[in-house]
């Protein structure tokens, strides 16, 4: 067959990527530009080369089993669609309390390589066995007037049970936690894995990628830049004041007025609320979260494959601050996280928010640990 149109494969051609690979305070050290939304240097989809157009295809041979837990939900369905379109995924396992056989049947009609199957609670072992990457968006969504912490009483137990299954059936898989409140659910997941004796801090990542996606988009719109060229590191956590966009470290170097900094920071911190209110009770930021999760998941797979210079911000077990968990840019590799990078130089304004961020995170982390230890 001839090469597919790039527009049909968003994971390769139409979605943008994490920008310049950065280290030591997010200083640029190596560009990793590509056509893919996760910043790959070589497209992973079959494509025609100039010399062999129409005759020979260049294809990627990497193969991974990926599970989406909560696959029938508002985030889970579009996320599953995007992962089905990712040529690195050869087996896609969809798990939820209901409706996953139907979602899997629907996605199975896509003419992409991944084999997809839906699983219900009685089939958790079959779903998880052999997984390389498990993405967990399961749980109830935010509604108008709700904070992420309002979700804790329901989602904490859901995450506990799902990660317990991962500990039993795929203890070496990389886990991407999306279920809110991430500031608490990642510590819960860690405690579950510790109880099972399989905790590896390199393989547990809270997905804060949507904060980076929003920051890059809002800055590009404000400054008239191409979104693919913009990179704004976002550190701290994944809720309200714990979300700290480091606008001073924006790439390309960009000047902001004090008013612009305050407005951008507030909008990035409250991007989820903006969507919840705009949907007027009909949902939360499901589509943008699915996009960010697919980008982050692909970055994890590229790291597992040994591709060099793969960086994403993530909420992880960290020594960067005095807190046990903190979001900064991480270098991803064959074992999950290769390196957790420092925050770098920040402005007095950012330092002030950082102190508020730490105070809020301290309580959220303790809440998650306490829940898991007492369960």
- Which active-site residues does the annotation give? 238
- Candidates 128, 174, 127, 141; CA nearest to 299 is 174
DSSP string spanning 331-358?
EEETTEEEEEPP-----HHHHHHHHHHH
Report how far residue 28's alpha carbon sits from residue 41's, in angstroms, rounded to the nearest whole number.
Answer: 16
What are the backbone angles phi and psi of residue 39, rounded to the nearest 5°?
Answer: 75, 30
Rounded CA gap, 263 and 80, in Å? 34
Residue 226 burial (C-beta neighbours within 10 Å; 0-12, 13-18, 19+): exposed
Q: How far is residue 56's CA from residue 59's CA, in Å, rounded to a whole number?
A: 10
Backbone conformation region of residue 369, classed left if phi is above 0, alpha if psi is from -120 to 50, else beta:
alpha
- Please say whether the beta carbons of 261 and 349 come within 8 A: yes
- φ and ψ of 136, to 5 deg: -120, 95
Q: Which residues, including other chains, have CB under 8 Å from residue 92's CB and lie 6 or more apart?
A: 65, 66, 67, 68, 80, 83, 84, 107, 114, 115, 116, 117
Is 58 within 8 Å of 46 (Cβ atoms)? yes
Q: Which residue in this structure is represented by tokens 């790439």?
A: 251
- Give the position of tokens 């979605």: 15
For residues 356 and 244, what is the distance between their CA atoms, to the nearest angstrom?
A: 10
> Tokens 């240097």 label which residue?
41
The whole-angstrom distance between residue 151's C-alpha and the CA centroid of its chain comes to 19
């Amino acid at each position: 067959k001839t090469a597919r149109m790039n527009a049909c494969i968003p994971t390769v051609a139409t979605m943008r990527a994490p920008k310049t690979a950065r280290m030591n305070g997010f200083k640029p050290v190596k560009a990793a530009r590509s056509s893919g939304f996760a910043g790959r240097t070589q497209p992973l989809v079959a494509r025609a080369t100039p010399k062999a157009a129409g005759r020979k295809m260049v294809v990627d041979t990497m193969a991974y089993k990926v599970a989406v837990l909560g696959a029938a939900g508002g985030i889970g369905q579009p996320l599953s669609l995007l992962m089905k379109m990712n040529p690195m995924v050869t087996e896609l396992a969809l798990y939820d309390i209901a409706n996953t056989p139907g979602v899997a049947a629907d996605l199975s009609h896509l003419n992409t390589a991944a084999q997809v199957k839906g699983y219900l609670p009685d089939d958790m072992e079959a779903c998880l066995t052999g997984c390389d990457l498990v993405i967990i968006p399961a749980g109830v969504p935010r509604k108008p007037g709700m904070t992420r912490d309002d979700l804790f009483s329901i989602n904490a137990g859901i995450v506990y049970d799902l990660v317990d299954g991962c500990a039993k059936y795929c203890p070496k898989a990389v886990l991407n936690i999306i279920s809110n409140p991430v500031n608490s659910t990642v510590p819960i997941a860690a405690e579950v894995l510790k109880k099972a004796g399989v905790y590896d801090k390199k393989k547990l990542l809270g997905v804060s990628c949507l904060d980076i996606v929003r920051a890059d988009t809002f800055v590009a719109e404000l400054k008239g830049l191409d979104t693919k060229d913009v990179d704004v590191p976002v550190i701290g956590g994944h809720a309200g004041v714990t979300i700290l966009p480091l606008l001073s470290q924006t790439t390309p170097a960009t000047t902001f007025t004090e008013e612009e900094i305050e407005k951008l920071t507030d909008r990035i911190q409250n991007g989820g609320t903006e969507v919840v209110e705009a949907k007027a009770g009909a949902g939360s930021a499901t589509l943008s979260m699915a996009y960010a999760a697919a980008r982050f998941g692909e970055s994890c797979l590229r790291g597992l494959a040994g591709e060099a210079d793969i960086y994403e911000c993530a909420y992880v077990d960290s020594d960067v601050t005095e807190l046990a968990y903190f979001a900064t840019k991480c270098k991803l590799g064959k074992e999950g996280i290769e390196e957790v990078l420092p925050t770098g130089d920040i402005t007095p304004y950012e330092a002030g928010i950082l102190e508020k961020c730490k105070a809020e995170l301290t309580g959220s982390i303790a809440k998650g640990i306490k829940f898991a230890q007492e369960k």
